């Protein structure tokens, strides 16, 4: 079949990788459908992209922030016009269902309009000087060339969380999209170009992580790295960047718990759990992977949850009636399969699912049955390790305090949810759950762009996207203006 060939974007020009090699982007619902060939880039391509970004920084940093923001406003409007097409492209390359890929594009639209407002804020502080006739303030400065490494599960939203705040802050960017889903980054950047972004301000280098991501992290002219992906690679990226004291923002894994108390609205809790566990085929860092059930409702919840999980329609996400799309690739299927084996060996029971779907309409794709484990105890690996697939564990508990303890007993700390009608317990949970995000009577997934996004423990290294991204993409400059016309020595002339 024929398919388009894409190039890297370097200094406003589309250029093939120096190696001349490409990687095929396949539709996970149908591997006969090739979305396109994308460059397989290496250090040389990265160096060219960084040089172009460095050159563009000289003028981009001088563009007034409100003018930079106008480009984001235009980009948001163009994305609105192209939403359907970009959602279809995304379903083809990533697999998740159309309703969700429309949501992914919508998130980029929301981010564009939210961040554009920063063009007229980017607030610093003014404060009194301790000396007479002296003015003190702090202003935000761009960092310089920023490197971005993104995952495949939110192929447009996550690049937008990084690119838009970096751009409005006056930085120039080199982005290395996930090898499974580069097209959505291309669509996003094409939108920025059509909105008037000057050449070289955003550059794309596509390729494999070790080939194209690692040299970006190590390049001396890259002043900061923003990474979203697995904790394993995040740790590597953080360590490499530390060698040159490069700031790194790391957003990584989760093992998110939904707690259901005896007094919960059970139907609501069931709907939330189903969406949290199987939305995006379980491939969200905020996906519900543990459902903690108080004993009074456990039997009824379990029976009904299994029935609803069984009824989910799995298939090609381009079919509007499908509820659960494929997993993104064979490696993810292998991981889900491996964890089923581990769980069963540890004594968990497969209540439904547990296998890859093959044959019939599933023959050419990477599909996995929605899978529910019962009899799970908090120490089992299936209750502690991230699977990133349509796999969820049911864990029973007696008291509210036990539920909080179990929820916190893992190494991750991204999202949590509590279903209850008891306001006292709700606020206690908000205080005590060790996570960057807590939902009350809503599923663990569903972040909005204007709140801080990120987690504690092994989920992140303290930075936040959304509200907080500007803090990462700017650096402070403190400014003192002395209009006394004489030498004033701080802490000396004004002592006493
Ligand atoms: P996921 O399992 O969600 O794909 P990864 O952490 O493997 O998460 O990948 C996230 C991003 O990190 C991808 O763009 C990938 O290409 C990139 N990556 C993988 N290995 C490295 C590496 N050694 N250095 C830099 N980036 C990497």
Structure tokens at 116: 């554009």
Per-residue pLDDT at 20? 97
In angstroms, rounded to a whole number, what is the distance separating the alpha carbons of residues 21 and 38? Answer: 9
The CATH code of the domain that includes 69 is 3.40.605.10
Q: What is the pLDDT of residues 179-207, one digit of tens each?
A: 999 999 999 999 999 999 999 999 999 99
In angstroms, rounded to a whole number, what is the distance separating the alpha carbons of residues 321 and 28? Answer: 18
Burial of 448: CB neighbours in 10 Å, binned 0-12, 13-18, 19+: exposed
> Quick check: 456 pLDDT over 80?
yes
Per-residue pLDDT at 495? 82
Task: Decide if 347 is inside a domain.
Answer: yes
Up-side HSE of residue 286: CA atoms within 13 Å toward CB? Answer: 23
Q: Are residues 119 and 197 in the same domain?
A: yes
Residues annotated catalytic, as ranges = 251, 285
In angstroms, rounded to a whole number, what is the distance separating the alpha carbons of residues 60 and 19? Answer: 30
Write the CA distances from 395 to 164, 182, 222, integer angstroms. Answer: 40, 37, 45
Q: Span 484-492, mean pLDDT?
A: 96
Pocket test for ligand 1, best of 40, 41, 149 (most atoms within 8 A of CB): 149
Up-side HSE of residue 103: CA atoms within 13 Å toward CB? Answer: 14
Structure tokens at 269: 């809790």
Q: Are residues 20 and 169 in the same domain?
A: yes
Number of the ligand 1 atom closest to the C-alpha atom of 217: 25
Task: Decide if 185 is inside a domain.
Answer: yes
Pocket test for ligand 1, best of 94, 147, 209 (most atoms within 8 A of CB): 209
Number of the ligand 1 atom closest to the C-alpha atom of 228: 10
The CA 41 to ligand 1 mean position distance, Å, reads 14
Task: Decide if 246 is inside a domain.
Answer: yes
> Quick check: 353 pLDDT over 80?
yes
> Quick check: 460 pLDDT over 80?
yes
The CATH code of the domain that includes 335 is 3.40.309.10
Q: Are residues 195 and 318 in the same domain?
A: no
The CA 239 to ligand 1 mean position distance, Å, reads 14
Q: Is 197 helix (H, G, I), strand (E, B) or coil?
A: coil
Per-residue pLDDT at 240? 97
391-397 and 288-294 as β-strands: parallel, antiparallel, unpaired?
Answer: parallel
Per-residue pLDDT at 494? 84
How many structural domains comprise the chain?
Answer: 2
Task: Decide if 3 is inside a domain.
Answer: no
Per-residue pLDDT at 268? 98
> Quick check: 286 pLDDT over 80?
yes
Q: Are residues 104 and 68 in the same domain?
A: yes
Is ligand 1 within 6 A of the CB of residue 250? no
Q: Span 450-473, mean pLDDT?
A: 97
Calculate the average pLDDT of the chain.
Answer: 98
The CA 63 to ligand 1 mean position distance, Å, reads 33
Q: How confident is the model at residue 77 (pLDDT cuts 50, 70, 90)?
A: very high
Q: Span 243-258, mean pLDDT?
A: 97
Is ligand 1 within 6 A of the CB of residue 150? yes
Q: Are residues 149 and 287 in the same domain?
A: no
Q: Are residues 225 and 345 in the same domain?
A: no
Q: What is the pLDDT of residues 360-416, one digit of tens each?
A: 999 999 999 999 999 999 999 999 999 999 999 999 999 999 999 999 999 999 999
Let me know: does 221 contact 172? Beta carbons within 8 Å.
Answer: no
Q: Of all helices (H) and strands (E), which one includes residue 78?
A: helix 65-94
Is ligand 1 within 6 A of the CB of residue 225? no
In angstroms, rounded to a whole number, what is the distance separating the alpha carbons of residues 438 and 64? Answer: 37
Q: Is 428 helix (H, G, I), strand (E, B) or coil?
A: helix
DSSP-assigned letters across all residues of 89-127: HHHHHH---HHHHHHHHHHHHHHHHHHHGGGG----EEE
Which of 440, 469, 489 is a domain's end point? 440
Q: Are residues 154 and 190 in the same domain?
A: yes
> Quick check: 308 pLDDT over 80?
yes
Q: Of all helices (H) and strands (E), which one includes residue 251?
A: strand 248-251
Is ligand 1 within 6 A of the CB of residue 185? no
Task: Decide if 106 is inside a domain.
Answer: yes
Task: Decide if 455 is inside a domain.
Answer: no
> Quick check: 110 pLDDT over 80?
yes
Q: What is the pLDDT of residues 324-343, one digit of tens each?
A: 999 999 999 999 999 999 99
Angle at 224 between CA 221 and CA 225, to 5 degrees: 115
Q: Are residues 331 and 232 in the same domain?
A: no
Q: Are residues 412 and 278 in the same domain?
A: yes
Is ligand 1 within 6 A of the CB of residue 213? yes
> For the chain, how big is the Rg over CA atoms in Å?
24
Per-residue pLDDT at 1? 74
Q: Span 428-457, mean pLDDT?
A: 98
With the CA atoms of 361, 367, 372 and 376 taken in that order, what torsion angle do they form, in degrees rounded to the nearest 10?
A: 150
Per-residue pLDDT at 112? 98
- Nearest 5°: phi and psi at 372? -125, 130
Whole domain around residue 356: which residue ranges?
256-440
Is ligand 1 within 6 A of the CB of residue 218? no
Task: Decide if 449 is inside a domain.
Answer: no
* 3-state percent helix, strand, coil for the chain, nearest multiple of 5: 40, 25, 35
Q: Are residues 143 and 207 in the same domain?
A: yes
> Quick check: 496 pLDDT over 80?
no
DSSP-assigned letters across all residues of 332-366: HHHHHHHHHHHHHHHT-EEEE--SEE-SGGGTTS-
Is ligand 1 within 6 A of the CB of residue 386? no
Q: Are residues 233 and 306 in the same domain?
A: no
Q: Are residues 89 and 116 in the same domain?
A: yes
Let me know: does 102 contact 83? Beta carbons within 8 Å.
Answer: yes
Task: Decide if 435 is inside a domain.
Answer: yes
Is ligand 1 within 6 A of the CB of residue 230? yes
The CA 269 to ligand 1 mean position distance, Å, reads 34
């Amino acid at each position: 079949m024929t398919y388009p060939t894409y190039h890297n974007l370097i200094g406003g020009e589309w250029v093939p990788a120096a190696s001349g090699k490409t990687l095929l982007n396949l539709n996970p619902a149908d591997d006969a459908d090739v979305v396109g060939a994308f460059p397989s880039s290496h250090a040389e391509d990265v160096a060219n992209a960084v040089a172009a970004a460095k050159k563009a920084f000289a003028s981009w940093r001088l563009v007034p922030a409100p003018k930079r923001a106008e480009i984001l406003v235009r980009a948001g409007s163009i994305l609105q016009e192209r939403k359907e097409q970009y959602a279809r492209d995304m379903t083809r390359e990533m697999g998740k269902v159309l309703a969700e890929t429309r949501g992914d594009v919508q998130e980029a639209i929301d981010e564009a309009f939210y961040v554009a407002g920063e063009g007229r804020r980017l607030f610093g502080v003014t404060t009194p000087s301790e000396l007479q006739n002296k003015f003190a303030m702090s202003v935000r400065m761009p960092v310089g060339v920023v490197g971005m490494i993104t995952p495949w599960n939110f192929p447009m939203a996550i690049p937008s969380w990084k690119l838009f705040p970096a751009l409005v802050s006056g930085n120039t960017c080199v982005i290395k999209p996930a090898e499974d889903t580069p097209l959505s980054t291309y669509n996003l950047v094409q939108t920025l170009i059509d909105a008037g972004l000057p050449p070289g301000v955003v550059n794309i280098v596509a390729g494999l992580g070790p080939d194209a991501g690692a040299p970006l992290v190590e390049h001396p002219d890259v002043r900061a790295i923003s990474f979203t992906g697995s904790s394993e690679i995040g740790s590597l990226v953080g360590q490499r960047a530390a060698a040159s004291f490069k700031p790194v923002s790391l957003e990584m894994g989760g093992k998110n718990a939904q707690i259901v108390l005896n007094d919960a609205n059970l139907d609501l809790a069931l709907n939330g759990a189903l969406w949290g566990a199987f939305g995006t085929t379980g491939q969200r860092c905020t996906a519900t992977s543990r459902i903690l059930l108080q004993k009074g409702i456990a039997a009824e919840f379990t029976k009904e949850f299994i029935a609803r999980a069984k009824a989910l329609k799995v298939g090609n996400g381009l079919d509007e009636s499908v509820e659960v799309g494929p997993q993104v690739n064979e490696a993810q299927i292998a991981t889900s399969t491996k964890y089923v084996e581990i769980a069963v060996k540890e004594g968990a029971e497969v209540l439904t699912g547990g296998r890859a779907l093959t044959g019939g309409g599933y023959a050419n794709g990477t599909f996995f049955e929605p899978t529910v484990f019962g009899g799970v105890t908090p120490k089992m690996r299936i209750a502690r390790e991230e699977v990133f697939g349509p796999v969820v564990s049911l864990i029973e508990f007696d008291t509210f305090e036990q539920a909080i303890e179990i929820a916190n007993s893992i190494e991750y700390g991204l999202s949590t949810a509590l279903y209850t009608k008891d306001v006292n317990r709700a606020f206690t949970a908000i205080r005590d759950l060790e996570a960057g995000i807590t939902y009350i009577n809503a599923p663990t997934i569903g972040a909005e762009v204007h709140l801080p996004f990120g987690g504690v423990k092994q989920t992140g290294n303290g930075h936040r996207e959304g509200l907080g991204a500007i803090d990462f993409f700017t650096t402070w400059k403190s400014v003192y203006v002395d209009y006394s016309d004489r030498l004033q020595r701080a802490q000396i002339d004004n002592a006493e």
